Amino acid sequence: MSHPPLHSSMFIGVQGDGIISFGSGQPDLPPPKEVFSCLPTYHDFKYGPVQGSEKLRKALALEYRGFSHENFVITNGASEALDLTLRVIAKPGEKILLHVPYYYAYKPLVELNHYIPSLLPTHDGKIDFADFEKMVPDVKAVVINSPSNPTGRIQEIPTLKKIEKITDDLNIPLISDEVYKDLIYERENYMLHGRRVITVNSFSKTFAMCGFRVGYLFSTDKEIVDRAITLKTHTSMNTNILGQEMAYHATTAPKSFIESHLKIWKERRDFIYSEMVKMGLEVWKPEGAFYILPKIQNSEQFVWDMFQKHKVITYPGEWFGAPNRVRFSFALDIGKIEEGLERVEQYLKER
Amino acid sequence: MSHPPLHSSMFIGVQGDGIISFGSGQPDLPPPKEVFSCLPTYHDFKYGPVQGSEKLRKALALEYRGFSHENFVITNGASEALDLTLRVIAKPGEKILLHVPYYYAYKPLVELNHYIPSLLPTHDGKIDFADFEKMVPDVKAVVINSPSNPTGRIQEIPTLKKIEKITDDLNIPLISDEVYKDLIYERENYMLHGRRVITVNSFSKTFAMCGFRVGYLFSTDKEIVDRAITLKTHTSMNTNILGQEMAYHATTAPKSFIESHLKIWKERRDFIYSEMVKMGLEVWKPEGAFYILPKIQNSEQFVWDMFQKHKVITYPGEWFGAPNRVRFSFALDIGKIEEGLERVEQYLKER
């Protein structure tokens, strides 16, 4: 192959003249103004509780009825929430179930924690419960991500309910990555719940706060929550206190903030999906999140060429367990989506 | 024992009426005003580079001559810098050398990464190189912390130079935790250096920025730096962008900031040391950092009683590999140190 090994750290945060990035998955629209309102008078500087600001956890407990603020841990983004969770739920050599395509950090996170990923194929991004049922008795925990990064697909509610039941029967942790729960186009989000469900979420997507790295995990399984706190005491201590204060202020923004963003996301989703269909790409319709994963042959070469020659950033499907597909984030305005897709169409015609 | 299992998360961030905390190790004096000056006009919100802000890394490269900004990774405090480093330098079952007493997170960090701690006893907190030399051929990496938390002791320069040489000869990573490098009373700090040295530091102690969790690692061993970046991409992504901006502004503060703080730390060091000697406690004189570790029998019971009955927070030596000692941080003003020690003296007389 005529390209170097590709890694997301090559692209994250890359900006510049003429670059159109369908790369990193982050909102281009700014956070609610409430997020910045606390800055001018801020003066704290000491450690906060490792579990997270009580004020912020109480605000979250109001949002998620049935949970107390003691069920939450505030983390450095959903990434750390997932890493902490994985580190406390299994032993080296045990298996963790991931559905494929998966968020690109899942497999390395599972592997660097010395577990073995059990990869469940899906059909057009949807889990077939019969397949799941066969694989689950062999694993120590399950990770579900609906809406999914990178497919934009959601899992069917009856499937999710069956997954809740069987993992509960088997008494294994069910990790639910719901960072896109507020960005869903086809129905209300269904939040997985149960005795041993650990939910991972963040302020990054809903409130456009990616750079501030404020995420959280919550669970009624207090043992897992406590183990995560103990671990975090050693690995990073409290999440940045000012980031937490800003996140708290995000929770005070009017609900219309989320609704108005969702409208924009849906327009972009409709646009990029219909354009790709017109271009003749084989593609699944995104039902949530802001990703679309068309089939494109020699995808790593495509990604490298588009970046080097045409200043378009995309991510190769290989990172997500989906070779010969390419992930496009549509977190950019429609004019740029259009221009970027024109460059893609041109390139594909020529090669 | 008539106390519950003690854990630092019970004490970190605990404040309240009448509580005197010799507990968590954080400056009580505020950061330089430059740290807050960027807040009122701040408006960024997107992901930054995983390796860290280039501006901040360039400022650090100016401070540490001989290093390029490419040698640095900005992390969620020194804690994450150490965790990332440990995660990329060895394989499960391998041994990591720690000198005892050690910072309380070291042993759990080594163990939760599935390594085996090789514990090197010290003499009044000082490493005897003859002991080190016997143990080091058996380990995969070494962690040195001078000035030390919890002892306040520094390692002798000839010892440090011999440690540099032997780890270089053995070609093993030498992790140098220098978070107290600017808080040293008896001589200039000697920074460990070499081909495979990874230095860990933070803005927490020097600039009183504990709550913002901005630390860093740096090394001329580019392979380790790159592996740490790759790992961080999955475990937490960029460190909070605003925390990094504030840290950058800290680097612009006049050097007199550090000098004026050091003068205060030294007064407190002199005071608490002479008071403890007067109380008849067996104690090593702190040469750096802001901790003192007197011998106190039944130290966990002492810590529990002092917290519950006398509102004085201290940490049991057990956490640091030093049973029958108790760690006192002297990051509080002399009046409070005096009052706290009076409560301690009273308790010790009565028991």
With a cut of 70, say whether residue B231 has pLDDT above it: yes
Would you call A41 exposed, middle or buried from its count of C-beta atoms within 10 A (0-12, 13-18, 19+)? exposed
Give the model's pLDDT for residue B16. Answer: 76
With a cut of 60, say whether residue B1 has pLDDT above it: no
Cβ–Cβ below 8 Å for A45 and B31: yes
Interface contact B109, partner A, CB < 8 A: yes
Please, which pLDDT band fits residue A166 given cuts at 50, 70 and 90? very high
Give the model's pLDDT for residue B180. Answer: 96
Determine how β-strand B174-177 pairs with β-strand B116-121.
unpaired
In three-state form (DSSP H/G/I as H, E/B as E, the rest C), the secondary structure along chain B is CCCCCCCHHHCCCCCCCCCEECCCCCCCCCCCCHHHHCCCCCCCCCCCCCCCCHHHHHHHHHHCCCCCHHHEEEECHHHHHHHHHHHHHCCCCCEEEEEECCCCCHHHHHHHCCCEEEEEECECCECCHHHHHHHHHHCCEEEEECCCCCCCCCCCHHHHHHHHHHHHHHCCCEEEECCCCCCECCCCCCCCCCCCEEEEEECCCCCCCHHHCCEEEECCCHHHHHHHHHHHHHHCCCCCHHHHHHHHHHHCCCCHHHHHHHHHHHHHHHHHHHHHHHCCCCCCCCCECCEECCECCCHHHHHHHHHHHHCEECEEHHHHCCCCEEEEECCCCHHHHHHHHHHHHHHHHHC
Return the half-sphere exposure (C-beta side, CA atoms, 13 A cut-off) of residue A303: 31
Please, which pLDDT band fits residue B6 given cuts at 50, 70 and 90? confident
With a cut of 90, say whether residue A340 has pLDDT above it: yes
Would you call A94 exposed, middle or buried from its count of C-beta atoms within 10 A (0-12, 13-18, 19+)? middle
Do A149 and A287 touch, CB atoms closer than 8 A? Answer: no
A91: nearest CA in chain B? B114
Q: Hunting for tokens 């992504």 — which residue is that?
A: B237
B49: nearest CA in chain A? A13
Q: Which amino acid is at B220?
A: T
With a cut of 80, say whether residue A14 has pLDDT above it: no
Residues paired with residue B96 on neighbouring β-strands, in sequence order: B117, B141
Do B96 and B57 touch, CB atoms closer than 8 A? Answer: no
Please, which pLDDT band fits residue A351 given cuts at 50, 70 and 90? confident
Residue A144: phi and psi, rounded to 5, are -115, 135
Handedness of CA A162, A166, A169, A173 (dihedral sign): negative
Q: Hunting for tokens 């720690």 — which residue is that?
A: B98
Do A266 and A185 touch, CB atoms closer than 8 A? Answer: yes
Residue B6: phi and psi, rounded to 5, are -95, 140
Give the model's pLDDT for residue A76. Answer: 98
Residues paired with residue A199 on neighbouring β-strands, in sequence order: A176, A218
Each residue's pLDDT tens digit, B274-304? 999 999 999 999 999 999 999 999 999 999 9
With a cut of 90, say whether residue A25 has pLDDT above it: no
**Whole-angstrom Cα distance, residue B347 to residue B345?**
5
With a cut of 70, say whether residue B245 has pLDDT above it: yes
**Whole-angstrom Cα distance, residue A204 to residue A228?**
21
Mean pLDDT for all residues in chain A: 95
Of B46, B51, B210, the CB nearest to A211: B46
Of B8, B208, B236, the CB nearest to A79: B236
Enumerate residues 147 to 206 of chain A having a beta carbon within 8 A of any beta carbon in chain B: none
Of B42, B211, B233, the CB nearest to A45: B211
Cβ–Cβ below 8 Å for B105 and A45: no
Helices B77-89 and A222-235, axial angle in degrees (round to 10)? 90
Order of strands across the sheet that contains B315-316: B291-292, B326-329, B315-316
Model's pTM, two decimal places?
0.95
Cβ–Cβ below 8 Å for A45 and B242: no
Count CB atoms within 10 A of the CB of residue B107.
Answer: 19
Q: Which residues from chain A sit within 8 angstroms of residue B49, using beta carbons? A: 9, 12-13
Give the model's pLDDT for residue A306. Answer: 96
Q: How far B74 CA sits from the closest chain A CA (Å)?
A: 13
The domain ranges of chain A are: 8-25+256-350, 34-251
Q: Which residues of B292-306 are buried (b: 16+ CB within 10 A; e: fewer)?
A: bbbebeebbebbbbb
Give the model's pLDDT for residue B17. Answer: 79
Give the N- to C-terminal CA distance of chain B in Å, as an integer: 15
A281: left (phi over 0), alpha (psi -120 to 50) or beta: beta
Give the model's pLDDT for residue B13. Answer: 67
Each residue's pLDDT tens digit, A187-217? 999 999 999 999 999 999 999 999 999 999 9
Count CB atoms within 10 A of the CB of residue A253.
Answer: 16
Number of A–B residue contacts, CB under 8 Å: 177
- Give the residue from B7, B232, B236, B319 with the most A CB atoms within 10 Å of its CB, the best one to mutate: B236
Among A102, A142, A79, CA closest to B232: A79
Please, which pLDDT band fits residue A13 given cuts at 50, 70 and 90? low
Each residue's pLDDT tens digit, B157-189? 999 999 999 999 999 999 999 999 999 999 999
> What angle (nearest 5°) sits at the alpha carbon of residue B115, between those of residues B113 and B120?
125
Residues in chain A, overall count: 351
Do B194 and B168 touch, CB atoms closer than 8 A? Answer: yes
Which listed CATH number (3.90.1150.10, 1.10.10.10, 2.40.160.40, 3.90.550.10) goes with B8-25+256-350?
A: 3.90.1150.10
With a cut of 70, say whether residue A252 has pLDDT above it: yes
Handedness of CA B223, B224, B226, B231 (dihedral sign): positive
**Whole-angstrom Cα distance, residue A110 to residue B8?**
28
Its CATH class, for the domain covering B41-251, is alpha beta
B76: left (phi over 0), alpha (psi -120 to 50) or beta: beta
With a cut of 60, say whether residue B313 has pLDDT above it: yes
Of B87, B210, B241, the CB nearest to A45: B210
Give the model's pLDDT for residue B11. Answer: 79
Q: Which amino acid is at B155?
A: Q
Torsion of CA B266, B270, B272, B277, to 10 degrees: 150
DSSP state of A180: T
With a cut of 60, say whether residue A1 has pLDDT above it: no
Give the model's pLDDT for residue B4. Answer: 80
Percent of chain B with pLDDT over 90: 93
With a cut of 90, say whether residue B2 has pLDDT above it: no
Count CB atoms within 10 A of the CB of residue A116.
Answer: 15
Of B45, B80, B236, the CB nearest to A77: B236
Please give the structure tokens belonging to residue A113: 């924690």
Rounded to a whole number of angstroms, the CA Rg of chain A reads: 20
Determine how β-strand A326-329 pairs with β-strand A291-292.
antiparallel
Each residue's pLDDT tens digit, B247-258? 999 999 999 999
Give the model's pLDDT for residue A258. Answer: 93
Do A325 and A100 touch, CB atoms closer than 8 A? Answer: no
Q: Distance of alpha carbon A287 from its chain centroid, rounded?
A: 14
With a cut of 90, say whether residue B105 has pLDDT above it: yes
With a cut of 80, say whether residue A348 has pLDDT above it: yes
**Whole-angstrom Cα distance, residue B231 to residue B84?**
7
Which listed CATH number (3.40.640.10, 3.40.50.1820, 3.30.1360.30, 3.40.50.1010) goes with A34-251?
A: 3.40.640.10
Three-state DSSP class for A6? coil
Cβ–Cβ below 8 Å for B79 and A236: yes
**Whole-angstrom Cα distance, residue B248 to residue B55?**
7
Please, which pLDDT band fits residue A4 given cuts at 50, 70 and 90? confident
Q: How far A130 CA sits from the closest chain B CA (Å)?
A: 31
Each residue's pLDDT tens digit, A101-143? 999 999 999 999 999 999 999 999 999 999 999 999 999 999 9
Give the model's pLDDT for residue A5. Answer: 82
Alpha carbon distances (Å) from B245 to A209, B42, B62, B63: 16, 9, 17, 17
With a cut of 60, say whether residue B208 has pLDDT above it: yes
Contacts 24+ apart (CB under 8 A), B115-120: B115/B86, B115/B90, B115/B140, B119/B321
Q: Residues B27-31: what's their mean pLDDT?
A: 92
Please give the structure tokens belonging to residue B333: 């003003």
